[in-house]
Amino acid sequence: MRSPLARAEGLGSAKGGVKHWWAERVSAVALVPLTVWFLGSVIAHAGGDYDAVITWLKTPLASLAMIVLLLALFHHTALGLQVVIEDYVHSDARFAALIAVRLGCLALASAGIVATLRIVFSP
């Protein structure tokens, strides 16, 4: 049931809010164990030297978990910042801000993944 005014203006559900909401929640839930793993690893290697950390990161489990952490972290960041921009930016800068956030998160995730892979595949 829609009001006559809503029918006349063509306003209504954008049909995209549920997908965005679920994506935020799923990425948040994925980040919980990944963040606990990462913090535990940092604490475990706090007294170690550079070579010990590099050796640890070269293990398949650590490198894969690091890449998944980076993907989930920056995906969640982009989703959250998108909501903030959509809620609080009410000018023509909205589109540019959304593109900047997406490209920034993509660049940071890519840089982290490339750095991880360079460490993993270094001799």
The string of pLDDT tens digits covering residues 59-93 is 999 999 999 999 999 999 999 999 999 999 989 99
Is 6 inside any structural domain?
no
Q: Are 68 and 34 in contact (CB under 8 A)?
A: yes
Lowest mean pLDDT among 1-15, 16-30, 47-61, 105-119: 1-15
Q: What's the chain's Rg over C-alpha atoms?
A: 20
Is 59 inside any structural domain?
yes
What is the number of residues in the chain?
A: 123
Tell me the residue range of the domain where 29 lies.
15-120
Residue 15 clears pLDDT 80, i.e. is over it: no
Q: Are 58 and 121 in contact (CB under 8 A)?
A: no
Is 82 inside any structural domain?
yes
CB atoms within 10 A of CB 78: 20
What are the residues whose beta carbons fall under 8 Å from the beta carbon of 81, sequence distance 6 or more? 101, 105
Q: What's the confidence (pLDDT) of residue 17? A: 74
Q: What's the confidence (pLDDT) of residue 114? A: 98
Total of domains in the chain: 1
Is 78 inside any structural domain?
yes
Q: What's the confidence (pLDDT) of residue 10? A: 61
Measured CA to CA, the distance from residue 56 to residue 46 in angstroms comes to 12
Higher local confidence (pLDDT), 14 or 51: 51
Q: What is the mean pLDDT of residues 82-110?
A: 95
Is 10 inside any structural domain?
no
Q: What is the CATH number of the domain that holds 40?
A: 1.20.1300.10
Is 9 inside any structural domain?
no
